[in-house]
Structure 1
Amino acid sequence: MTTGKIICSICARGGSKGVPGKNLRPLLGKPLLVYTLDQARAANCFDAIVVSSDDEAILKCASDWGVDVSVLRPDEMANDTAAKSPAIKHCIQTAETALGISFDMMVDLDATSPLRDPSDINNAIDLLLNGDCDNVISVTPSRKSPYFNLVELNKDGFAYLSKRLETPIVRRQDSPKCFDINGSVYAWTREAFFSGPSALSSRTLLYSMPEERSIDIDTEVDWIIVRTLMEKKINYTGY
């Protein structure tokens, strides 16, 4: 696969139950959304950066920052039960119409993953370009294993191990490698995206990121952890 035109979508809803208003909430002096916008620009690989939201304040923030297209998301794609993939597709199609460009690769960045490095974006794209695959998703090594210490409940309410092997695992380190999808970077070829933008298929490759760059803010505890890690980095590096 050769490099073509690449679009970056960032989908940021106005509503959030876990951390109300999180996408515009100030984090060490700037809105959470802006961290992802800055990383997208710093990656220096996108022909267009677009933001999709149902919230006019978020779209204004994106426009003030200088995105190529701000996309107003339909209400039915912005409620608590709506899947994200239709919103990404709507965002990409609206941007292609507005810009008159057909993109060859689609990259979606979660606005709630501010600890990623621009190199993570570039590395995921390189893997898509060179990995003979349909799409790439970013992950981090899982701290828990379904073969060792993840359990479920049966119909009677009793616990059982989520996945069992013929030979039981007695140490977590001996269990098959498992990964958490960290929600940081999703990348597709055009053909794979428009045939159905699924995160996982039979031709999905994983780009692994360290735990300290993989926290997706979904709760107030996540917010505190991210803020603490950012403060420590500032204190250590001086910027």
Structure 2
Amino acid sequence: MRPDALTLITPEQFLQELGATFYMVGVSLFFGAILGLAIGVLLVATRPRGILPQRAVFVVLSTIVNIVRSLPFIILLVAIIPFTRLLVGTTIGANAAIVPLTIMVAPYIARLVENSLLDVPPGIVEAARAMGATPWQIFVRFLLPEARGSLILALTTASIGLLDASAMAGTVGAGGIGDLAISYGYQRFDGIAMLVTVVTLIVIVQVIQLIGTRLARRARRE
């Protein structure tokens, strides 16, 4: 056994890295949700049979979304290092990780938003048009409220995906639970640290899914 194998994580370290994980996921989800919602709405609006058909805009947006979604997160993380450094001044730490996390999750949310809005019965759009609603009003007053439950589940799924990606970001010094798993669980052969981080991630995922499912059910009953 290596000498440093006995160096265990302290409660303070664990809480600090847990806070870093929540910080990365929370901030990335906030910005990613804003960008993803905007892109998703544009994809629905500009599609060939959409409310505001613009084939060129739709093709460009859809292609960009597909390209970003096709990149494994670890590759995206490394590929945009110059952009991350330009934006936040560093490539290490939680703030640096937020940039690739946001870029990763925004297209993902956009597709989920697009699917949620397309699942709304076409009759609702027709009824809105018959009442003289503008395209903006159709989305804000009809489509988005009707798809509220599905959108909540979409954000729930995106949150879990972000949690997974934030753990992966720990491999390049982003901090968080993933960094504990790598620095202590893997590099120092600390089985307790690995077990604690794995169990913590499982619990967080279960809590997020439980909350998201309950909120979605409540939204659909209203």
Q: Same fold (TM over 0.5)?
A: no
- Structure number having the greater helix percentage: 2
Query: Per chain length, whose mean CA-contact separation is higher, i.e. which structure has more relative contact order (CA < 8 Å, sep 6+)?
Result: 2
- Structure number having the greater strand percentage: 1
TM-score (norm 1): 0.27
TM-score (norm 2): 0.29
